[in-house]
Amino acid sequence: MRPVTLGPPPAEALAVLASGRMDDYPEKPVLRWLLGIFRNKCAYCESETDSPEREHYLPKGVGLWPEHEFDWQNLRLSCHGCNQIKEVMNGRSKDACRHPLDPCAAGFDPAIHLRAREVRGGMGLITLVGIDGAGKETVAPDGLDLNREVLASRRAERWRAYRDLRRQARELRAQLRARPALHGEARHARDLRQIAEALRKVRSDDGEFVGVFRLSRRR
Ligand SMILES: [Zn+2]
C-alpha cells in the first residue's frame, strides 16, 4: 500500500454532482480519473487489474454511509477481489464495520502499520505483517486478506523479476568494468539502458506492489 492523493475530480463529475442529476452519474470519466490517480492499481493490494472497479472506502449500504456514495473523496480504485471483500461490510452495522488502512488518508504512512517480509525458502513469497492494530486488522483474512494466495504468488513473481533485473544490471556493469572497450559498443550500452529503465519503472509509483517492496527491509 502506498499513500495516494486524490486531488480534484474530473470536470464531468463536478458538473453532475453540482446539478444533482445522479441518473447521469459519469461512470466512465470517474473510472478513468481513478485509473490515473491510482496508476491502474488497486488502492488496497496494489495489484494491476484487468477489471478495475469503483469502490467506496466508507461502505454505502443501508444504515452505513450512503451519504458518501457520490463523494469522490470516498472513491478508490479496487481490484475485484478487494472489492468483494469490502462488499461484506455492507451487510454489517456501523459498529461492526471494519475500516482497513486508507491509502488516501491525510499523512498516511504505511511503514507505521505494516512490514513486508520475505518468507525464508518461500521462492520470493512476500508476506505482509501488521505492526499495530490497524495494520493487523487490514492484513487479516477477515480484513482485506492481503496475504491471500493469488496476491502472494503475484508479488513473488514480480519480486523474482525485479531481482533478476538487478542481477542482469550488476553482471553487465561488471563486464563493462572488466572490459572498458565495451563502453563503446552500442549494444551493451543499450542493454544497460533498457535494464535501468525497467528497474526505474519497478521502483517508481507505477510499479506493481511498489509500496509492498518499499516496506521490505531486505530490498
Ligand atoms: Zn486489490
- Cell 456501523 sits at which residue? 94
Going from the Cα of 1 to the center of ligand 1, the distance in angstroms, rounded, reads 10
CATH class of domain segment(s) 11-97: alpha beta
Among 70, 53, 78, CA closest to 9: 70
pTM: 0.86
Cα 204 to Cα 200: distance, rounded to the nearest angstrom: 6
pLDDT in tens, 120-146: 876 778 899 999 999 999 999 988 999
Mean pLDDT value across residues 92-99? 81
Distance 79 CA to ligand 1 centre (A): 4
Parallel, antiparallel, or unpaired: how do β-strands 75-78 and 114-118 relate?
unpaired
Query: From ligand 1's centre to the CA of 214, what distance in Å?
Result: 18
Most confident of 14-28, 147-161, 179-193: 147-161
Asked whether the predicted pLDDT for residue 23 surpasses 90, the reply is no
Please state the domain extents for the chain.
11-97, 149-214
How many angstroms does the Cα of residue 49 sit away from the middle of ligand 1? 8
Q: Is 96 helix (H, G, I), strand (E, B) or coil?
A: coil
Distance 94 CA to ligand 1 centre (A): 23
Grid cell digits, residue 122? 518461500
Mean pLDDT score of the chain: 87
pLDDT at 89: 80
User: What spacing in Å lies between the alpha carbon of 149 and ligand 1's midpoint?
Assistant: 12
**Vertex 217 angle, CA 121 and 162, to 5°:** 65
Neighbours of 153 (CB within 10 A): 13
